[in-house]
A and B are shown apart, each in its own frame.
Chain A
Amino acid sequence: MTDDILLSMSGIGKSFAGVAALKEASLTVGRGEVLALIGQNGAGKSTLIKVLTGAVARESGAVRFEGVPVDFRTPQDAQAAGIATIYQEINLVPLRSVAENIFLGREPRRWGLIDWRRMHEQANAVLAQFAVSIDVRQPLHHFNTATQQMVAIARAIGQQARLVVMDEPTSSLDDREVAVLFDVIRQLKARGIGVIFVSHRLDELYVVCDRVTIMRDGMTVADQPMASISKLELVAAMLGRSLEEVKQFGATAFEEDFAVRPAKVLEVEGLKVAPRVAKVDLDVHEGEIVGLAGLLGSGRTETARAIFGADRPQAGTIRFGHETTGFRTSREAIGAGIGFCSEDRKTEGIVPDMSVRDNLTLALLPQLTRHGVIDQARQREIVDRLIKRLGIRLSSADQKIRELSGGNQQKVLLARWLCMKPKLLILDEPTRGIDVAAKAEIQSLIRELARDGLAVLMISSELEELTEGCHRVSVLRDGRSVATLDHAEATEHAIMTAMAHGPDEASISHAGA
């Protein structure tokens, strides 16, 4: 057994500015083994990975790789030793060619100069192993995310990596692409390469992982074969709760007394937005939460942006209030009573260096202004009220928003729209990348808002959020509306089938199930 151990990390400790990020973390990976590494945000997964890859120096503990004690000071050290890391946001150079991205730092040479022809041949050969055939001379940004990920893996293989660390590799892939990735992982496994697989999508772990290591509060709390642990037990271990508590969490039943009120707030017909959205129809009533489901690239975000006036549609009608033709700018949409929380909190949501107060009132400010001057007393009053209402945890509203946790940042962004008293709120992946507790809070908040009459259009990739948190689910596939399912019909199976196959099969298989 000891011969088969590729990597062992034990008793790893590390603190940042006096706060312990890792206390007693440990993990082992065998040759040809796929290890799932999971934990809530802040559990210390990413710090542990950074210690392994040399990006962060550990303060205590030992790391052995292939039986030898190692101490990586830089990412170069770890790479030289045979550990490759594939990060969530693919860390390649978009403007450079595919071949360059595979070979950067170890280009084939001839008389000391780069031999481009050989480099292209070798790049083709490496990619062919994964059945990827693309023009390796094209800049990387010409290709989709999944292909870019393959390039990242090809780079790792080319470097003779014996251990590949994948940090949330599936977070931006659709199901087909995930399947390809898993095929590749199985190939790596067959070659005796170890894989550490970090993911928030629990279902995937059972498909591809052999063993799971669970972290909580900087410590390893469980380490066992994947097959011997249930999903519920995984969640329980991550949360550090008893099983009973988790069951309550998972089973928040939707109020059945909901009756659709007559007032239609939003009605979209035949929406077309090049290049992703071909023909989308949907409507949202007062007090209703409509889920918008679909694989990545199915046109969900593009539909939402078009409704919000951020992108211009080519065809179709968008009826909202008195507006019948749709909005030309976000300003118009906001003025009419629509709010939009982008899926990308960091790049499209928060203004990191601004206070929570100013972030929260960013859209409202013009209304708090008289002759160009901000009424600070009113601003403070509104901000304080919303902080209390949403349970935003902070030390002061003057705090910079980047100092808050992801969940609290998301609440501030929700509050940014709530203070506008919108009629329709569009939420794009409102709980992505947020720890489980904050996620539950945000979900129940959304339900509460709907109960008060707000219409909500919620894009989500999480089936549970769609089946349990929505009155209706509208499913998109390749830019077309393919199904609208009532709460009762919207089972995970029905949604998945519609996303994967389209309307006809969906109804058939639904009937069959």
Chain B
Amino acid sequence: MQELEVAAPRRRRGLTWPWRGGPLAGALLALGILVLFNLIATPHFTSLQTLYVNLTQVTTIVIVAVGMTMVIATGGIDLSVGSLMAIAGALAPLIFAGRLFGMGPGLLADGLAFVLPVLAAMAFGTFNGWLVARFRIQPIVATLVLFIAGRGIAQVMTNGNLQAFHNASFYALGLGRVLGVPVQVWLMMAVVGAATWVMGRTLYGRQLLAVGGNEAAAQLSGLPVARIKIIVYAVSGLLSGIAGLIVIAINSSSDANLVGLGMELDAIAAVAVGGTALTGGRASIIGTLLGALIIQLLRYTLLSHGVPDAAALVVKATVILAAVYLQQVRRAS
């Protein structure tokens, strides 16, 4: 029994800030060490160019991983994100090149090429959520369906061909800058900011964590559990769609065989390194951002010091295991 000591409640923000020794401290420390190492040992590290190279390579992972964090917080997982990226990436060129609706090039076509693929990915995400929430199919299996079928759908739509294109709007998305910062980085920051706000301040964020923390209790407290779950998979699909468009915009081409390949694992790795437990009930959006940054910076560091990409994979594996192990130790103590 604890003694009676009703302390004055601390003022508290929606986030757990790292300098409070919160769960983010480790990730922040690791990132700091990586940056410090590079400052000392890597030439040209401080150039803006280096920053953008790293950021643009990490944006799609972060955007997808934000959705993944929210799905994992409900106790689920979404294996279909890579395939949904491929679907969105395959749809967009079909639309603005007029192959889908026979539409001439123009602003309307471009606009639809942005909106429709993202909506399609969101619809597929909703389908995932529907399987999970209404049929109570385990999330791994439910999203495995579209993991397998989704890329096939993208390949069938394009007949597996590479679609190369020149499109000003997509060029802007991939390589354009606003105030000197790449458009996609703005987009990433907007997604991270919005998700942080949702998780910290809104009813939906709180209810999502409750569903992941104890579904039966959430149900008996009158929470719309099925709706909460369906929405989270829809959001994950939507974010995957956006990420798919960014990938094809960067490449100025869309290859249904490659867009988003292996993304589900990259995203899950970022979530795990960022300190969100895979068992649900917890979520750290900023942690996921840091996790993705750590993995990216690690790879960059190794590459810029002549370590081949294959070896970087092994290092990445070690970092994931170490991060999860440290969180484990932390939680146990």
Contact = CB atoms under 8 A, between A and B. Distances in A.
A333 B219 CA distance: 12
A321 to B, nearest CB: 16
Contacts of A173: none
Given A330-B219, A374-B206, A398 B1 contact: no
Looking at B207, B216, B219, B220, the one whose CB has the most chain A CB atoms below 10 A away is B220
Nearest to A438: B1
Q: Contact residue range for chain A?
A: 35 or more
A349 B217 CA distance: 5
Contacts of B1: 42, 393, 405, 407, 435, 437
A310 interface: yes
A340 B220 contact: yes
Given A330-B219, A365-B207, A354 B213 contact: yes
B9 A397 contact: yes
B217 A351 contact: yes
A437 B2 CA distance: 13
A351 B210 contact: yes
A405 B223 contact: no
B209 interface: yes
Interface in A459-484: none
B7 interface: yes
A365 B201 contact: no
A192 interface: no
B222 A347 contact: no
Contacts of B210: 351, 354, 358, 362
A374 B204 CA distance: 9
A372 B217 contact: no
A202 to B, nearest CB: 21
Contacts of B203: 365-366, 369, 372-374
B10 A396 contact: yes
A437 B7 CA distance: 22
Contacts, number: 108
B221 A394 contact: no
B330 interface: no
A405 B2 CA distance: 8
| Contact size range, B | 20 to 34
Interface string B3-24: 1111101101000000000000
Judged by DSSP, the binding face of B is loop
B46 interface: no
Contacts of B193: none
The residue in B213, B223, B281 that gathers the most chain A C-beta atoms within 10 A of its C-beta is B213
B214 interface: yes
A407 B220 CA distance: 20
Contacts of B5: 393, 395
A374 B214 contact: no
Interface stretch (A28-36, A52-60, A280-288, A380-388): A380-388
A350 interface: yes
B102 interface: no
B202 interface: yes
Nearest to A380: B9
B299 interface: no
Contact of A362 (B2, B3, B216, B218): B218
Given A362-B217, A372-B203, A352 B9 contact: no
A407 B1 CA distance: 9
Contact of A398 (B2, B9, B207): B9
B217 A365 contact: no
Nearest to A388: B6
A411 interface: no
B12 A348 contact: no
Contacts of A357: 9
A357 B6 CA distance: 13
Given A398-B9, A398-B10, A405-B2, A358 B206 contact: yes
B281 A331 contact: no
Given A365-B207, A372-B204, A383-B9, 7 more contacts: A353-B282, A354-B210, A373-B203, A376-B201, A394-B2, A404-B2, A405-B2
Interface of A: 42, 308, 310, 330-331, 333-335, 340, 342, 347-354, 357-358, 362-363, 365-366, 369, 372-374, 376, 380, 383-384, 387-388, 391, 393-398, 404-405, 407-408, 416, 435, 437
13 contacts: A335-B222, A353-B281, A353-B282, A358-B206, A362-B218, A363-B221, A369-B202, A372-B203, A372-B204, A393-B1, A393-B3, A393-B6, A435-B1
